[in-house]
């Protein structure tokens, strides 16, 4: 039985043309019991691959292709890691939990010391980080000069152990490929390591090859007309059926059988990453739930004046559920961030369903009394859902918010906190521009095409589309327009590159780089994980949003202005300075409702759009 152990997805960023879900769907249709995903220098697509494979009844095997290089002799040690005389890819498969942690740490080491999107490992750096990993060694053995042909395989066997190195044979119907395979098989025999067959998959089906060529051109900043040998020589790197691979390697039954034997050893799945949300450092090693009750009680007596039996009963009910779900530490850590903001004079406000919680109100996380407003706590947290609560904190944009983010980094350490990623995908406008450039359209045609596509929901390569483009003045022949439309449709939603989320932060008990690789963000002083917020939710990783809003800065200035202005004698009796906070604003100020009735709300947060201004008088 053949199992594909070397497939890459579009999360190799311009080096693969199919989403993980498409690869899984194809594998399920072909009857694969398992499939391995090895994306370039990371596990970017692993959560989606894991989720899709589990749903399809396929065992997901994870790994990565690690970029290995030899640093140039020139420059400082730091510069040497960025200037490589030559690089090649080493595919590694994860066999155990320790192996997964080692993979994440190796990728983190590579990424954090290099500019965004760059980096490589020196082979010697794998020392001590290969337990639980299996290396697939293919054609790079024959072109790497640093160790010599036999010396490199000998070095890899020394690093991974003889039982954790396999020589990989690939056949893509290329004339010179078989000569390499013969040499590789001889090396495997000499070093007594097994051979395995693989197809080095880069897309799910043969029809995806044209899109793969487009992505290759984007990666190399060239066009299809002049890309030459950078493009795939044929369409053979698709996910073939086990029967097709058996026919292709009919003379090497050992290589076919080796895939199933190796797959059996790769027992690790991502079902349990070992992630733990941090424990709150309760004084004297006390209990988190007990401590939360104490600070909530103190906050409630300040918020509720008087502290009514109704408020007391609601808070007790919420605390009982929080304790039952073991979530006290989460509330304390959010409360700790809010306290830091108060100490620094930074206005902070919890948003969303957290405002339904009397505990959040008592802790100062939110400023809306959910009991007075008769809000439903279960919208925020319920036992039936069994999921982590989601508390988003709004902060003033700019320097104040950055201070809070850097405080979290400092508090939890270099490997204890990171921003969540934002996967930048191809959308209507970006897809039109990049496909147009690859097809060598003129700047005028690209501008016209982009304008048209920006106003089109979905377009297929049909006559109506051609007429639509012609009406926009795009002077292209019919075949080129059809090609553009087909590629534009196929590229939609594919990953383009990794960005960072606007404010999502992940914190961890212990080293976060053992759970997911870390890499530098484009903004100095920021580190991101390789997964977005949805991946984090699927993998059980808790995110706290620290969001920047310009209106929060305006509110902070307004509060300071009001609190520094003496009240009129008629209102205060003696011209004393008024003191107020957002939690104790009067809920029934008639002038506020008069303003809303008139829709005089330009500059009023949340109700200043045209649609909202049109709705307010009717309400």
Q: What is the enclosing helix (H) or strand (E) of 496?
A: strand 495-507
Q: What is the structure's pLDDT at 456?
A: 57
CB 80 within 8 A of CB 121: no
How far is the C-alpha of 432 from the C-alpha of 491, rounded, in Å?
A: 9
How far is the C-alpha of 607 from the C-alpha of 614, rounded, in Å?
A: 10
Phi/psi for 605 (5° steps) reads: -55, 135
Q: What is the structure's pLDDT at 349?
A: 93
Mean pLDDT of 212-239: 96
Share of the chain above pLDDT 70, in %: 90
Mean pLDDT of 389-412: 93
Q: What is the enclosing helix (H) or strand (E) of 197?
A: strand 195-198
3-state secondary structure of 609: coil
CB 445 within 8 A of CB 436: yes
Q: What is the structure's pLDDT at 465?
A: 61
- Binning pLDDT at 50, 70 and 90, where does residue 464 land? low
Phi/psi for 519 (5° steps) reads: -150, 160
CA-closest candidate to residue 43, choices 270, 199, 377: 270
Question: How distant, in Å, are the alpha carbons of 37, 51, 128 from that of 268?
Answer: 13, 14, 19
CA-closest candidate to residue 547, choices 581, 505, 499, 604: 505
Residue 38's DSSP bridge partners are: 63
Q: What is the enclosing helix (H) or strand (E) of 337?
A: helix 328-343
Mean pLDDT of 125-138: 96
CA-closest candidate to residue 23, choices 72, 78, 61: 61
Phi/psi for 167 (5° steps) reads: -90, 130
- pLDDT reading at 233 higher than 60: yes
- pLDDT reading at 507 higher than 80: yes
Phi/psi for 156 (5° steps) reads: -65, -40
Q: What is the structure's pLDDT at 521?
A: 87
- Mean pLDDT, the chain, whole residue set: 90
254 contact partners, CB below 8 Å, separation of at least 6: 194, 195
Highest mean pLDDT among 11-15, 83-87, 480-484: 11-15
3-state secondary structure of 122: coil
- pLDDT reading at 454 higher than 60: yes
Mean pLDDT of 202-221: 97
- pLDDT tens, 62-72? 999 999 987 66
- Binning pLDDT at 50, 70 and 90, where does residue 272 land? confident
- pLDDT reading at 398 higher than 80: yes
How far is the C-alpha of 428 from the C-alpha of 450, rounded, in Å?
A: 8
- pLDDT tens, 365-395? 999 999 999 999 999 999 998 788 889 999 9
3-state secondary structure of 203: strand
- Binning pLDDT at 50, 70 and 90, where does residue 510 land? confident
CB 65 within 8 A of CB 89: yes
Q: What is the structure's pLDDT at 78?
A: 47
Q: What is the structure's pLDDT at 505?
A: 94
Q: What is the structure's pLDDT at 196?
A: 98
- pLDDT reading at 473 higher than 60: yes
Q: What is the structure's pLDDT at 80?
A: 40
Sheet holding 59-71, edge to edge: 34-40, 59-71, 84-94, 133-137, 165-170, 195-198
For β-strands 417-425 and 495-507, DSSP reports them as antiparallel
- pLDDT tens, 13-53? 999 999 999 999 999 999 999 999 999 999 999 999 999 99
Q: What is the structure's pLDDT at 81?
A: 46
- pLDDT reading at 429 higher than 90: no
- Binning pLDDT at 50, 70 and 90, where does residue 145 land? low
């Amino acid at each position: 039985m053949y199992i594909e152990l070397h497939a890459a997805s579009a999360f190799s960023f311009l080096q693969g043309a199919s989403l993980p879900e498409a690869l899984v769907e194809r594998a399920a249709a072909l009857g694969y019991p398992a499939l391995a995903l090895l994306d370039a220098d990371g596990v970017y697509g692993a959560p989606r691959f894991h989720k899709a494979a589990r749903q399809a009844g396929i065992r997901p095997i994870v790994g990565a292709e690690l970029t290995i290089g030899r640093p140039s002799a020139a420059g400082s040690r730091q510069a040497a890691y960025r200037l490589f005389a030559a690089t090649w890819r080493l595919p590694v498969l994860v066999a155990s939990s320790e192996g997964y942690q080692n993979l994440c740490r190796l990728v983190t080491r590579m990424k954090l010391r290099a500019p965004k999107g760059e980096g490589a490992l020196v082979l010697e750096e794998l020392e001590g980080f290969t337990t639980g990993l299996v290396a697939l060694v293919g054609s790079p053995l024959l072109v790497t000069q640093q160790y010599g042909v036999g010396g490199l395989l000998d070095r890899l066997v020394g690093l991974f152990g003889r039982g954790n190195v396999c020589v990989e044979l690939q056949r893509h119907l290329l004339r010179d490929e078989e000569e390499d395979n013969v040499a590789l098989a001889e090396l495997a025999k000499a070093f007594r390591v097994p051979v395995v067959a693989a197809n080095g998959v880069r897309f799910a089906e043969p029809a995806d090859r044209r899109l793969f060529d487009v992505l290759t051109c984007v990666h190399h900043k060239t066009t299809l007309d002049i890309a030459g040998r950078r493009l795939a020589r044929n369409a053979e790197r698709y996910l073939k059926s086990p029967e097709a691979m058996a026919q292709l390697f009919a003379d090497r039954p050992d290589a076919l059988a080796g895939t199933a034997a190796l797959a059996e050893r790769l027992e690790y799945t991502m079902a349990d990453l070992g992630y733990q949300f941090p424990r709150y450092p309760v004084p004297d090693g006390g209990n988190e739930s007990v401590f939360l009750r104490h600070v909530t009680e103190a906050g409630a007596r300040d918020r509720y004046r008087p502290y009514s039996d109704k408020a007391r009963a609601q808070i007790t009910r919420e605390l009982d559920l929080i304790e039952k779900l073991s979530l006290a530490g989460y509330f304390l850590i959010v409360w700790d961030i809010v306290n830091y903001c108060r100490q620094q004079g930074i206005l902070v406000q919890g948003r969303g369903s957290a405002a339904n919680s009397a505990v959040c109100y008592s802790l100062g996380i939110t400023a809306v009394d959910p009991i007075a407003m008769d809000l439903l706590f279960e919208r925020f947290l319920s036992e039936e859902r069994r999921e982590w609560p989601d508390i988003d904190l709004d902060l003033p944009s700019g320097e104040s918010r950055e201070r809070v983010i850097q405080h979290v980094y400092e508090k939890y350490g270099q490997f204890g906190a990171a921003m969540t990623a934002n996967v930048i995908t191809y959308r209507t406008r970006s897809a039109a521009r990049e496909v147009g450039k690859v097809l060598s359209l003129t700047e005028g045609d690209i501008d016209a095409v982009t304008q048209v596509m920006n106003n089109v929901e979905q377009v297929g390569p049909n006559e109506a589309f051609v007429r639509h483009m012609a009406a926009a003045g795009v002077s292209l022949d019919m075949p080129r327009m059809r090609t553009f439309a087909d590629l534009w449709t196929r590229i939609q939603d594919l990953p383009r590159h990794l960005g960072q989320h606007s404010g999502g932060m992940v914190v961890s008990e212990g080293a976060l780089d053992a759970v997911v690789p870390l890499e530098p963000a484009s903004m100095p002083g920021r580190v991101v994980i390789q997964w977005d917020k949805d991946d984090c939710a699927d993998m059980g990783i808790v995110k706290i949003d620290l969001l920047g809003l310009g209106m929060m800065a305006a509110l902070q200035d307004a509060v300071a202005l009001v609190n520094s202005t003496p009240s009129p004698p008629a209102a205060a009796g003696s011209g004393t300075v008024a003191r107020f906070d957002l939690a104790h604003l009067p809920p029934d100020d008639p002038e506020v409702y008069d303003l809303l009735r008139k829709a005089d709300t330009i500059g009023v947060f949340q109700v200043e759009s045209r649609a909202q201004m049109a709705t307010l008088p009717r309400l």
